[in-house]
Structure 1
Amino acid sequence: MTTPLKLGIPKGSLQNATFALFKRSGWIINVNDRSYFPEIDDDTIECTICRAQEMSRYVENGTLDAGLTGKDWIAENSSDVHVVEDLIYSKVSARPARWVLAVPYDSPIKSLDDLSGKKIATELVAFTKRYFEERDISVKVEFSWGATEAKVVSGLADAVVEVTETGSTIRAHGLRIIHELMRTNTQLITNRRAWENPPKREKIEQIALLLKGALLGEKMVGIKMNVPHDKLEQVVTLLPSLNAPTVASLYQSDWFSVETVVGTGVVRDLIPVLLKNGAEGIIEYPLNKVI
């Protein structure tokens, strides 16, 4: 690669989660609190920190070759970028966030049609306007600089369009959700010129592969156990795996070592069942990446 890949890292709530994801993927990123140009232990990459809301514009116009931002901000800016990979991670949980319409608990508004002629506060202005225009509902959409939930509580707006993962913050502000406008997650994007450049495309594909592998590894664990010959078949039938479990005979013994990979939400229920069916010496271990 003649010039380094210019990679955008989202500033704000996703920044630390992104650094952690890259670390699990094999890259160490270090940043000074006052710097917008983090150091990365890869001479073929140059990092720049910018707001997720602006990332797709900088990628589209070539200021950055690639970057990580939300599907929501790509839609908001109507950016013409190539989406390389969906990366579902956040500062709270490994689930997509939701942009929802919320009103006060005691509001008479029950549906989108009830908002005709009303005022909506949101940071996602362009997308929200298009959403209601497509449904032929006339609303006034105002930009909110922050504390959006407070706008409707204080009577400055009739409803808000706000992002949430669990809905708990919205409920804590005395609001109720009446509609979901979109689901969003972090995406690795690139501009089309960089994607058509073979060395840069290869680097972007490497990043996508390892980030995705790190996210999958976070959702899975490895388990290993010893199983006697007469219990082997019934234990193996209990084991989910990517292909098939690894089975190896133990030295000078009629016992076998059995190893596989399972989801983190499965293993807690699986281990007691394996013990009841003859497995012994069960070891659970974390996975860095699953490719």
Structure 2
Amino acid sequence: MSVLKLGIPKGSLEDATIALFDKSGWQIKLASRNYFPEVDDKELSCSICRPQEMSRYVESGMLDAGITGKDWTQENESDIEVIADLVYSKVSKKPTRWVIAVPGDSEITRVEQLDGKRIATELVNVTQKFFKERGLNVDITFSWGATEAKVVSGLCDAIVEVTETESTIRAHGLRVIYEMMQSNTQLIANKASLQDPWKREKIENIAMLLQGALRADRIVGLKMNVSKENLETVINMLPSLHAPTVAQLYKQEWFSVETVISEHQVRDLVPKLKKGGAEGIIEYSLNKVI
């Protein structure tokens, strides 16, 4: 039996990734100090890897596919295939940002003023390329972590750091002067693995279901009964991905109306639907929208 080797990112994305797979139909169970979790799919073999290294393992063929950040794929200059963008993170559903930050009391306000300065970052290659393209000569050093503290203590003049909310950066008294790049999670695959028809189909099916689960986030279904005389009024109130589904109830002048809407619209819409003549309104969650 064929088995697909899949990499799951360790660290901040680990729990969010496992939760996303659970919503997509796969249960991945972690064991303490075990880098090879169980998965309820005999066609999958999972490994836990640092996202910084994931693209290297996928490129080498040690893994057929994996979940990692666009930033680390670019940092490693990996020769892989991007199968799908999966915009999710540990905090929000937005892309993360790599920013250039300086001390709050620094006179530096523009990227050009960093010429000749020292910069600490974990994203060395991408940062070097960024400044080289702008003709700026900077001294870039690799940071193993606690990057914000390095600029606070005077070990460097600026940092390039990843952030979602900037809360940690602000907590250290730093000020963002430039957004260098945005990054999001991606499903990547080994190019040789994609030449295998079975593996390609398995990877593409995983991508489809993961994207479907993300698409369903914060979206709900609404179902209600509406009399014939109120049908047009209610239909005109409904936002929808497509036209709502309408079916006549058996031997009655009433209709069942069903639609899909954003979760935040429900609180304002349901009272209006009730006033418009809708009855038996049911709201239900969605796992996937394909």
User: Identity of counterpart residues, as a percentage?
Assistant: 64
CA deviation after TM superposition for structure 1 residue 276, in Å = 3.4
Query: Partner of 1:259: helix, strand, or coil?
Result: strand
Quote the residue 1:158 is aligned against: 157
Cα distance in 2 for residues equivalent to 1:75 and 1:268? 42
TM-score scaled to structure 2, two decimals?
0.96
Cα distance in 1 for residues equivalent to 2:168 and 2:122? 16
Aligned CA-pair RMSD: 1.3
Query: 1:269-288 residue pairs with structure 2 within 5 A?
Result: 269-288=268-287
Cα distance in 2 for residues equivalent to 1:267 and 1:122? 44
Quote the residue 1:141 is aligned against: 140
Q: Does residue 196 of the first structure (1) align with residue 195 of the second (2)?
A: yes
Cα distance in 1 for residues equivalent to 2:19 and 2:220? 18
Quote the residue 1:76 is aligned against: 75
Instruction: Mark the CA change 1:104 to 1:275 in structure 2 (over 3 Å): closer, same or farther.
Output: farther
Quote the residue 2:35 is aligned against: 36
Quote the residue 2:9 is aligned against: 10
Query: 1:81-120 residue pairs with structure 2 within 5 A?
Result: 81-120=80-119
Query: 1:19-34 residue pairs with structure 2 within 5 A?
Result: 19-34=18-33
CA deviation after TM superposition for structure 1 residue 127, in Å = 0.6
Cα distance in 2 for residues equivalent to 1:11 and 1:112? 33
Structure 1 residue identity aligned to 2:225: N
Structure 1 residue identity aligned to 2:177: I
Cα distance in 1 for residues equivalent to 2:263 and 2:133? 41
Task: Mark the runs of 5 or more structure 1 residues left unpaired by the alignment.
Answer: none
Q: Which moved more, 1:210-219 or 1:272-281?
A: 272-281
Task: Mark the runs of 5 or more structure 2 residues left unpaired by the alignment.
Answer: none
Structure 2 residue identity aligned to 1:183: Q
Structure 1 residue identity aligned to 2:206: I
Cα distance in 2 for residues equivalent to 1:158 and 1:228? 69
CA deviation after TM superposition for structure 1 residue 128, in Å = 0.4
Quote the residue 1:232 is aligned against: 231
Query: 1:173-192 residue pairs with structure 2 within 5 A?
Result: 173-192=172-191
CA deviation after TM superposition for structure 1 residue 87, in Å = 0.5
Cα distance in 1 for residues equivalent to 2:99 and 2:275? 46
Cα distance in 2 for residues equivalent to 1:153 and 1:276? 59
Aligned residues: 290
Q: Which moved more, 1:54-63 or 1:225-234?
A: 225-234
CA deviation after TM superposition for structure 1 residue 3, in Å = 3.2
Quote the residue 2:217 is aligned against: 218
Structure 1 residue identity aligned to 2:244: P
Structure 1 residue identity aligned to 2:40: D
Cα distance in 2 for residues equivalent to 1:192 and 1:201? 10
CA deviation after TM superposition for structure 1 residue 252, in Å = 4.1
Cα distance in 1 for residues equivalent to 2:269 and 2:191? 46
CA deviation after TM superposition for structure 1 residue 232, in Å = 1.2
Structure 1 residue identity aligned to 2:142: F
Structure 1 residue identity aligned to 2:256: S
CA deviation after TM superposition for structure 1 residue 152, in Å = 1.1
| CA shift digits 1:97-133 (9 cap, x unpaired) | 1111111121111111011111111111111011100
Query: Partner of 1:142: helix, strand, or coil?
Result: strand
Cα distance in 2 for residues equivalent to 1:287 and 1:48? 29
| CA shift digits 1:2-47 (9 cap, x unpaired) | 5311100101111111111111111111121211111111111111
CA deviation after TM superposition for structure 1 residue 283, in Å = 1.6
